[in-house]
Amino acid sequence: MTPIIIPQLDANVVDVTITQWRKHVGDAVAKGEIIAVLTTDKAAYDFESPASGILLSITAQTKSIVPTGSVIGAIGEMGEAVGDGLCADLTMTQGQQAGTGRCACPPAQPRIRATPRARRLAAEKGFDLAAIGVAVGVEIVDESAVAAYEQMKI
């Protein structure tokens, strides 16, 4: 099994958005074949398969924001178990084998984007920034962190 890992695309890039998956779980892929489109704040990149085989799992869904170095899926042989933190027990249904289903894996947790001041406020007041519930890709600024904290106190 080969994990699909987001590469460091640029020195300043810390996270990317999975814009589109061009392959689905159960599809055959060849090494170097474009399997996804990744977007940064500056550009869009075609993401090539690191190996040949079957796309066994997708752990970061479309529109997910993931840090570079994250595992977003796995490629291997049909029926191969996916492990090492991806899915300890991946069982493919007929729909998944045909490429029409979804992986049984939980989706990757998107990175919480927040200003340093918002993070410090959250740490000082003792609340989780993920609980604020802003739209994916929106950065939490200190005003929204303070407002969320005030709402939690009520």
> Strand 44-48 and strand 71-76: pairing?
unpaired
109 domain residue, yes or no:
no
Look at residue 103 and tell me if it is in a domain. no
Give every CB contact of residue 84 below 8 A, 6+ residues apart in sequence. Answer: 1, 3
Q: What is the pLDDT of residues 86-144, one digit of tens each?
A: 443 333 333 333 343 333 344 445 566 777 777 787 788 777 777 665 544 556 666 76
Distance in angstroms (rounded) separating the CA atoms of residues 65 and 104: 20
Residues 124 and 68 in one domain: no
CB atoms within 10 A of CB 123: 10
Q: What is the pLDDT of residues 35-59, one digit of tens each?
A: 999 998 888 999 999 999 999 999 9
Does residue 83 lie within any of the structural domains? yes
Report whether pLDDT(84) > 50.
no
Assess if residue 106 is contained within a domain. no
CA atoms within 13 A on the CB side of 71: 16
State how far the Cα of 3 lies from the Cα of 136, in Å rounded to an integer.
25
81 and 31 inside one domain: yes
84: CATH: 2.40.50.100
pLDDT band at residue 154 under the 50/70/90 scheme = low
Task: Kindly state whether residues 53 and 121 are assigned to the same domain.
Answer: no
Written as one letter, the residue type at 13 is: V
Residues 80 and 139 in one domain: no
81 and 7 fall within a common domain: yes
**120 & 93 share domain:** no
Give the Cα-Cα-Cα angle 9, 19, 113 (nearest 5 degrees). Answer: 70
Question: Range of 144's domain?
Answer: 116-153
**Total count of domains within the chain:** 2
| H-assigned helices in the chain | 94-97, 116-125, 142-153
